[in-house]
Amino acid sequence: MARFPITADTAVSYPGPPPARADVVVIGGGVIGVCTALTLAEAGQRVTLLEKGRIAGEQSSRNWGWIRVQGRDPAEIPIMQDARRAWIDLARRTNADFGLHQGGTVYMARSKAQLAAYQNWLDIARAHDLDSEMLSAAETRTLYPGFQTSAIGALRTPSDMRAEPHLAMPALAAIAARAGVTIVENCAVRRLDIAAGRVAGVVHEAGMIKADSVVLAGGAWSALFLANHGVRLPQLSVRDTVLATQPLPEVTLGTASDGRVAFRRRADGGYTLAPPGMSELYIGPDAVRALPKYLPQLRAAPWAQSYKPLAPHGYPDGWTTPRRWSGDSVTPFERMRVLNPNPSARRVKRMLQAFAAAFPQLPKPQARQTWAGMIDTMPDIVPVVDHCAALPGLVIGTGMSGHGFGIGPGMGQVLAALVMSVPVGHDLARFRADRFDDGSPIILPPL
């Protein structure tokens, strides 16, 4: 079986060294960090991006590869529209073919309640002039040759796109480097440097960088980093298992979910399969502490994820993972350069069976490659994109809740605007950091 392309053993592409001074330091080399750094550099900022392991070593290369506006929270839709335009521009700016293709997204409904939810979201889509549409059961079946389904209808957005994450992210990092971003891999940020009550830079494992602003885009590690500074964020991370099949005949050029399996056509002729709404939560101290804030999500979909009793050693919410350390101490970020969870063999088997049942005319699908990633999620399934009130000079972009890859270029523009104190162009009230502490109700997205 093929090996996942980006791990802790992958050769370092950006060895450094880090500079002593920058205008902005970005913590985290995933899609949010890279796109933020790129936007800042193109605005004339001196930007250093520090990544504890490898560029896109974690969820940004392990996601499904969907670039979709369909099904998003209303507050995300305008940012996602910006992101789609940015993806097209980024593809033009590189010689690397990372599989960007407009094939549409389809969500199939297997119950009247689900169909009604899709219809309600369609009303939101129309308010944003999206090309989304409802399909009948017959129209849904005709989308895919030989498709066997009990779907009674579907929601479709033809303009949605897809790409290959493990190819796209190195290409985006190369664009950022050409724009002047200093990228340093294998360089963990241990903590913020604080002077006179505000951020003055960062302390990393090889020294310090003085900077007026810092962006935290640490994905699954963001809450742990903040906890060391006494800032609590109810962010958790869940495991998602994904697989790639061998090359198979074409049944779609886009992305779809029939409720049993989510599938995407790959540039190599196979399909990426994932279990829709079937993530796994490892229970640790942060999960216990944040439980009250997740109750609305649990009540709405109690079986949307399964639960593991112990977070593995060294994971962000592991029971033995330190929550406090100094700038001269080895940190959890250095002990685990790349968070590389094992995929679930049971889920791999189930996804293959579901895809085979949906398309019985295809050769039997086989897992050519399997992997898993840890998705940073929030109680209301939308991110935190905000200034950190307790740490002036710090901007937070985290908790993308499985939506980060597609929206990354758009969120990068938003975060860069926050850093530079220029108009963002979007209403960010939905993404404010204090919404979990100021008595606001936790409102879940419509889908």
pTM of the entire predicted model: 0.97
Count helices and strands (H / E) in the chain: 11, 22
Residue 5 scores a pLDDT above 90: no
Higher pLDDT: 279 or 367? It is 367
Average pLDDT score over residue span 108-120: 95
Residue 427 scores a pLDDT above 80: yes
What phi and psi values does residue 169 have, to the nearest 5 degrees? -65, -45
Residue-wise over 226-248: b if at least 16 C-beta within 10 A, else e?
Answer: bbbeebebbbbbbbbbbbbbeeb
Lowest mean pLDDT among 5-14, 16-25, 68-77, 408-417: 5-14
Residue 81 scores a pLDDT above 80: yes
Average pLDDT score over residue span 422-444: 96
- H or E element: which one contains 263? strand 262-265
Residue 278 scores a pLDDT above 80: no
Is residue 221 within 8 Å of residue 65, measured between CB atoms? no
Q: What is the pLDDT of residues 435-446, one digit of tens each?
A: 999 999 999 999
Percent of the chain with pLDDT over 70: 100
Average pLDDT score over residue span 167-194: 98
Residue 394 scores a pLDDT above 80: yes
Higher pLDDT: 4 or 256? It is 256
Q: What is the pLDDT of residues 285-325, one digit of tens each?
A: 999 999 999 999 988 887 777 888 888 999 999 999 999 99
Average pLDDT score over residue span 34-53: 98
Task: Report the Cα 340 to chain-centroid distance in Å.
Answer: 15
Enter the tokens of residue 199. Answer: 């951020």
Kindly report each contact of residues 312-317 with a partner whose C-beta sits within 8 Å and lies 24 or more positions away, as own/partner.
312/282, 312/341, 315/237, 315/282, 315/284, 315/339, 315/374, 316/220, 316/221, 316/223, 316/224, 316/237, 316/284, 316/286, 316/374, 317/224, 317/236, 317/237, 317/282, 317/283, 317/284, 317/285, 317/286, 317/287
| Amino acid letter, residue 416 | A
Considering the four listed CATH numbers 3.20.190.10, 3.40.120.10, 3.50.50.60, 2.60.120.260, the one that applies to the domain covering 24-436 is: 3.50.50.60
* Residues across the chain: 447
Each domain of the chain, given as residue ranges in start order, spans 24-436
Q: What is the Cα–Cα distance from 300 to 447, expressed in whole angstroms?
A: 11
**pLDDT at position 121, please?**
97
Q: What is the pLDDT of residues 216-254, one digit of tens each?
A: 999 999 999 999 999 999 999 999 999 999 999 999 999
**pLDDT at position 216, please?**
98
DSSP annotation string for 201-216: EEEETTEEEE-SEEEE
Q: What is the Cα–Cα distance from 417 to 256, expressed in whole angstroms?
A: 33
User: 342: number of CA atoms within 13 Å, CB side?
Assistant: 5
Average pLDDT score over residue span 326-337: 96
Is residue 40 within 8 Å of residue 212, measured between CB atoms? no
**pLDDT at position 63, please?**
96
- H or E element: which one contains 411? helix 404-420
Q: What is the pLDDT of residues 119-177, one digit of tens each?
A: 999 999 999 999 999 999 999 988 988 899 889 999 999 999 999 999 999 999 999 99
Residue 277 scores a pLDDT above 80: no
Enter the tokens of residue 144. Answer: 């895919």
Q: Which of 107, 441, 108 is nearest to 300 (CA)?
A: 441
**pLDDT at position 31, please?**
98
